[in-house]
Amino acid sequence: MLEPTMFMGTSAWKLQNDVLMAIILPEHGGKVASLVYRSQNWELLFQNPNGTFRKANRGDDFSDYEACGFDDAFPTVDACEVQMGGRTVQYPDHGELWSAAFTAEAIGEMLCLRWQSPELGYTYEKQLHLAGNRLVCSYRIHNPGNEPLPALWVCHCLVHCEPGMRIVMPPEVTQVENTFTSDWLGEATTKLSYPMAAGPRGNIDLQVMPPDGALKYYAASAVKEGCCRYEYPASQMAAQLEYDSTMLPYLGFWATGGGYRGDVNCALEPTNGYYDGIPNAWQHNACPVLTPDETWNFTLSIQLYPLV
């Protein structure tokens, strides 16, 4: 079933089958605001604590708005300046999409969202549908212009946390890089072992949520396996992200145990660049560029299932 609805006072679309229910907000960047495993009424996504969604404008500070649910961060996470065609272009905080109003079209049981950037010219299309216990998100990003477009795509999917939950990266991840100075992981750019790391507070299990503060790290090199997951033993549920690692070869992780605005959430973040901002990605020789007339096509799915 696919039908228009309202969610926290905002126009929305509801996708529903026998297993899942998803709520999508076209006017708020195509945000997936809710993803529920119906038989247990189990919500994966971190919910908006404000109860309403305010409309943002390009260039607004992301932290002033509702950091919740599943957004696509594109073409950056960190606000930065980018040189394009001999001019300086401002890439806004957490990209352009979260503040954009998408057009929405129902095509059978699929919701198709579209938007074109007035400033950068690219066209962005996202198609969402349910397949059993999976929410499938298919992306098409096209550069119709004459200038190369340096662009990071990051899965910015904030999930709820509960005691005892575990974060599971692919087994090949044995080292991570800290992205900002924190009590848990020390100085920015520090390399740490995974899953057990030696930080300023002593040994820390990176598969467990920190009880306070905030942290972010990336797997220190490209990851071949496009699969990672959350396990919630208290709820007896799990959520698995599956994606094309040739298109999204890097993997980050964000967590706040109240250190960011008092929020408690976390996010595994598959991405195509390393990491978070264009200048930093250039420095690491890991900045993707969408060339003139090039199209990026890729798919990411979220599978919800009971733990056995």
Q: Is residue 176 part of a domain?
A: no
- pLDDT, one tens digit per residue, over 30-45 is 999 999 999 999 999 9
How many residues belong to the chain? 308
Strand, helix or coil for residue 8: coil
| Band (250; pLDDT cuts 50, 70, 90) | very high
Supply the pLDDT for residue 51.
87
How is residue 150 written in tokens?
């340096």
In a domain, 225, yes or no: yes
Q: Does residue 206 lie within any of the structural domains?
A: no
Q: What backbone torsions phi and psi does residue 149 show, to the nearest 5 degrees?
A: -120, 100
pLDDT in tens, 87-129: 899 999 999 999 999 999 999 999 999 999 999 999 999 999 9
Task: Supply the pLDDT for residue 80.
Answer: 96
* Within a domain: 178: no
pLDDT in tens, 207-238: 999 989 999 999 999 999 999 999 999 999 99
Please compute the mean of the pLDDT values over residues 294-305 and round it to a whole number.
98
Question: Dihedrals φ, ψ of 256, to 5°?
Answer: -130, 120
Q: Which residues constitute the domain of residue 294?
A: 2-166+211-306
- The number of folded domains in the chain is 1
Task: Output the pLDDT for position 274.
Answer: 97
pLDDT in the model for residue 85: 79
Q: Report the C-alpha gap between 113 and 59 in whole angstroms.
A: 21
184 in a structural domain: no
**Quick one: three-class SS letters along 156-208?**
EECEECCCCCEEECCCCCCEEEECCCECCCECCCCEEECCEEEECCEEEECCE
For the stretch 252-266, pLDDT in tens is 999 999 989 999 999
- In a domain, residue 182? The reply is no
Residue 86 belongs to domain with CATH number: 2.70.98.10
Q: Which two tokens stand for residue 10?
A: 């905002």
Q: Which residues lie across from 31 on neighbouring strands? A: 25
In a domain, 244, yes or no: yes
- Mean local confidence (pLDDT), 188-195: 96
Strand locations in 98-161 (E): 103-107, 110-116, 123-131, 134-142, 149-150, 154-157, 159-160
Taking the C-alpha atoms of residue 252 and residue 277, their distance in angstroms, rounded to an integer, is: 13
| CB 250, CB 179: distance < 8 Å | no
CB-CB contact of 176 with 220 (8 Å): yes
Confidence label for 86 from pLDDT (cuts 50, 70 and 90):
confident
* Distance, C-alpha 170 to centroid of its chain: 17
CA–CA dist 16, 220 (Å, integer):
38
Q: Please state the φ and ψ torsions of residue 98, each to the nearest 5 degrees.
A: -60, -25
Domain-embedded: residue 275: yes
Mean pLDDT value of segment 150-174: 97
Q: Is it the case that residue 83 has pLDDT exceeding 90? A: no
Q: State the average pLDDT for the chain.
A: 96
- Check residue 92 and give its pLDDT: 96
> Global pTM?
0.96
Helix, strand or coil for residue 117? coil
Q: What percent of the chain has pLDDT over 90?
A: 94
302 forms beta bridges with 135, 241
